Amino acid sequence: MIEKLKDWLKSHTLWRWAIRPTLRVQLEQLNTAKPTVFYLGLPEHGNLGDQAIAKATEIYLQEQLPQHQVVRIANDAVLPCIPLLKRIMQPNHLIVMHGGGNLGDLWPGAENVRRAVVKRLKKWPIIQLPQSVFFIDKQEHTLSKKCYDDADRLVLVAREEQAHSAMQQAFTCPSMLVPDMVFTLSGRLKELPIQREGVMVLFRHDVEKLYNDNVREGVIDQLGDLFDRVTVTDTVLPTGVPLDQRDDVLIRFWRQMAKHELVVTDRLHGMIFGLITQTPTVALLNNNGKIISTFETWLQSVPWIKVWAPTDGPLEVAIVDVMRAPVAPVDFSRQFRPLNFYLANFRKGE
């Protein structure tokens, strides 16, 4: 009872003080008679992988549900918005949750928000867009399982085989397998640079890395011997990205990336950005399996993208392989058919 009281107080305090005034007005004045998609969890932090997922998702929703109005709710506004959403939601409304790599206890804050949405809005259709799954703590897994299995119309989407297998083992609610939402941008970027020179190195700066700094420095040293121009950066910016600046930030980053003839990365979205900018890419294995599972699920037939580990032999061989391979746009529309089919059910009510 005490815990329930704490939850109630927390939700009402957030509702009164944390919800953004413009968002509250938008929700209160919303034409609820129209078919509506509530897109929950948009990021405003500096992770460009998450920002690209959001951009790709909005384009995808506009194409798949052209008659629906899309209401975007940033991640830190989701919890305080739940009471109002419960009041205004109608049978022809749909909840879509932001994709990424935070389903599980690796990022407990994100998982707690997801549980709150599913628990309190469980009567409405909810789809969790493509995610990776990581549970270590059995108690956390039990809490999520009870919440998700109890939802009336929840559908989970995995973005690679490893995640799909984990979903099927962990939960009884329906699930499907489609690529990360950024794959929908493959072949769609315009005005990419024609002249390319040097290598862009996209290495993560946090603790979630497979190799120690000496190994990573060794990779950079090798690249310095092979290329006159080596640009070392990350797909995570030190500052946040407001919603109204997201598209400009992403386009600038992708154009800068496409000025290089090679990408070497230990970031999942470094590899995916290589795909959409049509830049030959060598991806280093990471410690959670996201890169290798994504590669094996969707990218094995793309000759100019490879996954490499020190045990695979010289890095230079992998570089030569991807740079010699022909580069061309890759169409992943067929791989998104399961999600298209699901959303087609909502077009019937438009």
pLDDT in tens, 109-158: 999 999 999 999 999 999 999 999 999 999 999 999 999 999 999 999 99
What per-residue confidence (pLDDT) applies to 137?
Answer: 93
Per-residue pLDDT tens over the stretch 180-190? 999 999 999 98
Q: What is the mean pLDDT of residues 312-323?
A: 95
Confidence of residue 14 (pLDDT cuts 50, 70, 90): very low
Residue 188 DSSP SS3? coil
d(CA 25, CA 298): 42
Tell whether the model's pLDDT for residue 276 goes beyond 80.
yes
Q: What is the mean pLDDT of residues 177-202?
A: 93
More confident residue, 192 or 93: 93
- The pTM of this model reads 0.92
What per-residue confidence (pLDDT) applies to 24?
Answer: 87
d(CA 193, CA 260): 9
What per-residue confidence (pLDDT) applies to 96?
Answer: 98
2-179+333-347: CATH topology is Rossmann fold (3.40.50)
- Residue extents of the structural domains in the chain: 2-179+333-347, 187-324
What per-residue confidence (pLDDT) applies to 233?
Answer: 95
Per-residue pLDDT tens over the stretch 201-218? 999 876 555 555 667 788
Tell whether the model's pLDDT for residue 13 goes beyond 90.
no
The Cα-based distances of 212 to 89, 102, 136, 270 in angstroms read 49, 24, 23, 19
pLDDT above 90: percentage of residues in the chain: 80
What CATH number belongs to 187-324? 3.40.50
What per-residue confidence (pLDDT) applies to 269?
Answer: 97
What per-residue confidence (pLDDT) applies to 211?
Answer: 56
Tokens 């703590």 -> residue: 137
Confidence of residue 326 (pLDDT cuts 50, 70, 90): very high
Q: What is the mean pLDDT of residues 318-335?
A: 96
Give DSSP secondary structure letters for 87-135.
Answer: HH--TTEEEEE--EEEEESSSHHHHHHHHHHHHHTTTS-EEEEEEEEE-
Tell whether the model's pLDDT for residue 51 goes beyond 90.
yes
Tell whether the model's pLDDT for residue 330 goes beyond 90.
yes
* Residue 332 near residue 186 (C-beta atoms within 8 A): yes
HSE-CB for 285 with a 13 A CA cutoff = 14
Per-residue pLDDT tens over the stretch 217-226? 889 999 999 9
Asked if the domains at 2-179+333-347 and 187-324 fall in one CATH topology, the answer is yes
Confidence of residue 173 (pLDDT cuts 50, 70, 90): very high
Confidence of residue 19 (pLDDT cuts 50, 70, 90): confident
